[in-house]
A and B are shown apart, each in its own frame.
Chain A
């Protein structure tokens, strides 16, 4: 196969060569959209509209964005394209087999999961293995959008719900609020609040974990240990953010009543959660950087993605 560069120098700027190289890829992508259109409609009405998989569309959007973002840096990394039809078609056939199985036997997990394989196959077919490796993290990220079986999610959600309720109860009690708990029902003052599945924070755990990994990938720290520590610390950060959200809602309801607590502010509390988490992630990361700078030689150099 010919090696070719998709960019050409024109007036000192690199531009995409739209004609013979990129057009076939876009035709294939169009076909991809047609094939997965039915899957998308089913997700919209089904899994992605339920609290269990609410993080799905966000992961999809961010994943696609990241792939496009990474594609911009291909030229600066000097990556040439060498289409790999053999491996490309193998992955394509694998992905499509998973699709046929998943769709016909109503397994959303396989049906949606196949999308990642097929998209990867298209990149391999038209641009080659080096490009696919460069975009690799984006494909990994897309795995987070796949809907998980309800039974599996429930096993994780219940202990989280109980843990969040338990922590909020004890903190509010320590602050001298009239609070009591029975299972996952909190009684604050005159009001009762149920810590629902959506409040367990499982969706936000996945989302935040994915966002944290994205953050690390964008910021490109060399230290594997620090990356691993941040990835682990995101779990307690997520828990802390969710707990803050539930506490925030309890206090709103206590002071301003049910209407306020269940109305607009309920959605606002979600934003509070993400902001809390974001601040904590950046804070923890800065803390880790400070510690490692103090402790070890300054060999970890920060490379910003171009």
Chain B
């Protein structure tokens, strides 16, 4: 037996056996547990909560592209996108954008606002990491704040990106989050939760960000647990 494998022909059989094992291994380790949730955002996101009420004519927001047939690609990574503008009793307006992707892969994944805004002509004035407190016991959510300018338009943006059960910040962490899920056999879904406000001037920045923080906490609180886990990770 050992002499067979020490000869070239035997070696070639062993090599082919290893190839077959690799093909099997690659198939076996492919994540097959889909975390996607078949919930329509348009139905579950409330049009009215707390002091906020949805406006029928929303303000124009930085676009999130969806393919017409719903297929995911690198350029169009969302299955469903909703964009709404909410107004409170003081007449202040806040824009909400939610982008949902049912599956995340290494090369087809959700886009980060700091990239999208810049691609659509904005200039980044400030960018910082922030922890967004939630009224539910599941602590605070790691998010980011951006201050953007496009000509005369000054926009404050607060957002978080949920990938599966993680909130990765930055491109590398996004890849690692997808990989972590993959190694556990899961194909994660992803949600972009983005809130933006047009600021009259730079002095309104702090007020704008605090308002967005409260808006997000109220929004998640207003959604029943079953549907809130679209936006927020479902931690046991």
Is B107 a contact of A108 with CB atoms below 8 Å?
A: yes
Q: Does B182 contact A (CB under 8 A)?
A: yes
Q: Within the assembled complex, what's the spacing in Å between the Cα atoms of A103 and B7?
A: 31
Is A149 a contact of B107 with CB atoms below 8 Å?
A: yes
- Which of chain B's residues have a CB closer than 8 A to the CB of A285? none
Within 8 A of A (CB), among B1-34: 6-9, 11-13, 15-16, 18-23, 25-31
Q: Within the assembled complex, what's the spacing in Å between the Cα atoms of A59 and B19?
A: 24
Nearest-neighbor residue (CB-CB) of B115 within chain A: A151
Q: Within the assembled complex, what's the spacing in Å between the Cα atoms of A185 and B103?
A: 35
Determine the main DSSP class of A at the interface with B: helix
Partner of B8, one of A24, A38, A106, A149: A24
- Which of chain A's residues have a CB closer than 8 A to the CB of B12? 23-25, 27-28, 31, 126
Nearest-neighbor residue (CB-CB) of A30 within chain B: B16
Q: Does B130 contact A (CB under 8 A)?
A: no
Is B8 a contact of A20 with CB atoms below 8 Å?
A: yes
Q: Shortest Cβ distance from A123 into chain B, in angstroms?
A: 12
Q: Shortest Cβ distance from B212 into chain A, in angstroms?
A: 27
A100-B26, A103-B26 as given contacts; A28 in contact with B31, CB under 8 Å: no
A selection of 28 A-B contacts at a CB cut-off of 8 Å is A20-B7, A23-B9, A23-B12, A24-B8, A24-B9, A24-B11, A28-B11, A28-B16, A31-B12, A31-B16, A31-B19, A35-B23, A83-B8, A92-B15, A93-B18, A96-B21, A96-B22, A100-B25, A100-B26, A103-B26, A104-B25, A104-B28, A105-B31, A107-B106, A126-B8, A149-B106, A150-B107, A151-B171
Q: Within the assembled complex, what's the spacing in Å between the Cα atoms of A96 and B25?
A: 10
Nearest-neighbor residue (CB-CB) of A147 within chain B: B107
Partner of B179, one of A28, A105, A125: A105
- Besides the known contacts A27-B9, A101-B29, A104-B31, 9 further A-B residue pairs in the complex with CB atoms under 8 A apart: A21-B8, A100-B22, A100-B25, A104-B27, A104-B28, A105-B106, A105-B179, A106-B182, A107-B106
Within 8 A of B (CB), among A97-115: 99-101, 103-108
Nearest-neighbor residue (CB-CB) of A22 within chain B: B8
Is B107 a contact of A104 with CB atoms below 8 Å?
A: no
Is B16 a contact of A150 with CB atoms below 8 Å?
A: no
Within 8 A of B (CB), among A60-109: 83, 85, 92-93, 96, 99-101, 103-108
Q: Does B183 contact A (CB under 8 A)?
A: yes
Is A150 a contact of B74 with CB atoms below 8 Å?
A: yes
Q: Shortest Cβ distance from B46 into chain A, in angstroms?
A: 35
Q: Does A32 contact B (CB under 8 A)?
A: yes
Q: Within the assembled complex, what's the spacing in Å between the Cα atoms of A21 and B8?
A: 7
Residues of B whose CB lies within 8 Å of any CB of A are 6-9, 11-13, 15-16, 18-23, 25-31, 74, 105-107, 171, 179, 182-183
Q: Within the assembled complex, what's the spacing in Å between the Cα atoms of A54 and B28?
A: 31
Is B8 a contact of A100 with CB atoms below 8 Å?
A: no
- Which of chain B's residues have a CB closer than 8 A to the CB of A25? 8, 12
Partner of A106, one of B23, B105, B171: B105
Q: Does A156 contact B (CB under 8 A)?
A: no
A99-B22, A106-B105, A107-B106 as given contacts; A20 in contact with B9, CB under 8 Å: yes
Nearest-neighbor residue (CB-CB) of A103 within chain B: B26
A: number of interface residues (CB 8 Å): 33
A96-B22, A104-B29 as given contacts; A85 in contact with B106, CB under 8 Å: no
Is A85 a contact of B11 with CB atoms below 8 Å?
A: yes
Is B18 a contact of A92 with CB atoms below 8 Å?
A: yes
Nearest-neighbor residue (CB-CB) of A125 within chain B: B11
Q: Shortest Cβ distance from A153 into chain B, in angstroms?
A: 11
Nearest-neighbor residue (CB-CB) of B14 within chain A: A89
Q: Within the assembled complex, what's the spacing in Å between the Cα atoms of A31 and B30?
A: 21
Nearest-neighbor residue (CB-CB) of A105 within chain B: B182
Q: Within the assembled complex, what's the spacing in Å between the Cα atoms of A34 and B26?
A: 14
Q: Does A179 contact B (CB under 8 A)?
A: no
Q: Within the assembled complex, what's the spacing in Å between the Cα atoms of A285 and B105?
A: 45
Nearest-neighbor residue (CB-CB) of A31 within chain B: B16
Nearest-neighbor residue (CB-CB) of A46 within chain B: B107
- Which of chain A's residues have a CB closer than 8 A to the CB of B19? 31-32, 34-35, 96
Is A31 a contact of B15 with CB atoms below 8 Å?
A: yes
Q: Within the assembled complex, what's the spacing in Å between the Cα atoms of A236 and B136?
A: 58
Nearest-neighbor residue (CB-CB) of B17 within chain A: A31
A20-B8, A23-B9, A106-B105 as given contacts; A99 in contact with B26, CB under 8 Å: yes
Most central of B16, B18, B21 by chain A CB within 10 Å: B18
Q: Shortest Cβ distance from A304 into chain B, in angstroms?
A: 33
Q: Does A122 contact B (CB under 8 A)?
A: yes
Is A122 a contact of B22 with CB atoms below 8 Å?
A: no
Q: Shortest Cβ distance from B110 into chain A, in angstroms?
A: 13
